[in-house]
Amino acid sequence: MRVIFCGYRSWALNIIDEIKKHKKINSCEIISSKEEYDFKFNKLVINADLIVFLGWSWIIPKKITNKYLCIGVHPSDLPDYRGGSPIQHQIINGVIETKISLMTISEKLDGGDIWLKNDLYLGGDTIEIIFKNLEESSIALFNNFFNLYPNIEPIKQDLTKGSYFKRRSPEESRIKIEDFKNKPLKEIYNNIRCLTAPYPNAYIEDLEGNRLYFKDVRYVKNK
């Protein structure tokens, strides 16, 4: 099987480095920049049985998804939390144990058929810890997929169920000073930890527009 991997974030490249070793992958190519992607895909200079997208930020045109089997992962239990910033929205809503979904990429955002799912733990003080969980869960998920493929069929999503969220903006990272009086500390902790690097950090702002950013956080429960 010849596979093209598309990913540029560090956690995505870590996943690719592991799953490209699978015995069913005879050859592969890694595309790690938008410029390389445009060159290959706009001219359809492609020779692949499967295209895998990991953490890819750009829209994949129908001429690609209609011609090739394209798959990717979404860090939620689809059809729940479709759309942007799924990790942040789940953490803010108090979700700790969720799934990572391996789906067919289609013209419907996060609406493609589901191949497999695996557990994903969203605990930890930083996004770096969660990304490590994401890597481990994704590697196991893809290895399971390649073990089963082509003797596996995806399941169609019921898009009348679940939920959809928009990508969060940097302005939504603001925590109001009065929140420290009116909200539980665990809720504030979740808001801060899901916005550690590389995301726009949570911050508070005074009346003059000065900002205090939170780069790290730790929650200690009173025994």
- Residue 82, phi then psi, degrees to nearest 5: -70, 160
How many structural domains compose the chain?
2
Please report which confidence band the pLDDT of residue 63 belongs to, taking 50, 70 and 90 as the band edges. Answer: confident
Same domain membership, residue 175 and residue 160: no
In a shared domain, residues 56 and 132: yes
Give a yes or no: residue 10 inside a domain: yes
In a shared domain, residues 62 and 137: yes
The closest alpha carbon to 51, from 16, 92, 3, 9, belongs to 3
DSSP per position, 151-194: S---B---TTSS-EEPPPPGGGGB--TTHHHHS-HHHHHHHHHT
Does pLDDT of 219 surpass 80?
yes
Q: Tell me the per-residue pLDDT of 163-198, one tens digit each, with 9 for 90 and over.
A: 999 999 999 999 999 999 999 999 999 999 999 999
223 domain-assigned: no
Phi-psi region of 198 (alpha: psi -120 to 50; beta: other; left: phi over 0): alpha
Helix axis angle for 10-19 and 127-148, nearest 10°, is 30
pLDDT at 57: 85
95 and 56 together in one domain: yes
Dihedral Cα 129, 133, 138, 139, nearest 10 deg:
100
Residue 168 · residue 194 · CB < 8 Å:
no
- Token pair for residue 183? 């909200």
- Whether the pLDDT of residue 214 is over 80: the answer is yes
- CATH number for the domain spanning 78: value is 3.40.50.170
Do 80 and 141 belong to one domain?
yes
Same-domain check for residues 189 and 149: no
Q: Does the residue 222 lie in any domain?
A: no
Are 151 and 197 part of one and the same domain? no
d(CA 31, CA 191): 33
Q: Are 77 and 120 within 8 A, CB to CB? A: no
Task: Estimate to the nearest angstrom the gap between the alpha carbon of 32 and the chain centroid.
Answer: 16
Determine the structural domain holding residue 180 and report its residue range.
170-214
Under DSSP, is residue 84 helix (H, G, I), strand (E, B) or coil?
Answer: coil
- What's the whole-model pTM score? 0.93
- Pick the last residue of a domain from 165, 183, 200: 165
Residues 140 and 194 in one domain: no
* Whether 145 and 175 share a structural domain: no
Contacts of 152 (CB under 8 A, 6+ apart): 115, 116, 145
Whether 220 maps to a domain, the answer reads no
Q: Note whether 102 and 49 are same-domain residues.
A: yes
Q: Is residue 99 part of a domain?
A: yes
The number of helix segments (H) and strand segments (E) in the chain equals 7, 10
Q: How far is it, in rounded angstroms, from Cα 121 to Cα 164? A: 20
Bridge partners of residue 8, in order along the sequence: none
User: Rounded to an integer, what distance in angstroms lies between the CA atom of residue 100 and that of residue 71?
Assistant: 13
Confirm whether 197 is domain-assigned: yes
210 and 181 housed in the same domain: yes
Asked if the structure places residue 20 within a domain, the reply is yes
**Residue 219 domain-assigned (yes or no):** no
On whether both 65 and 136 belong to a single domain, the answer is yes
Quote the mean pLDDT of the chain: 94
d(CA 67, CA 79): 25
Residue-wise pLDDT for 10-49, tens only, equals 999 999 999 999 999 999 999 999 999 888 887 666 789 9
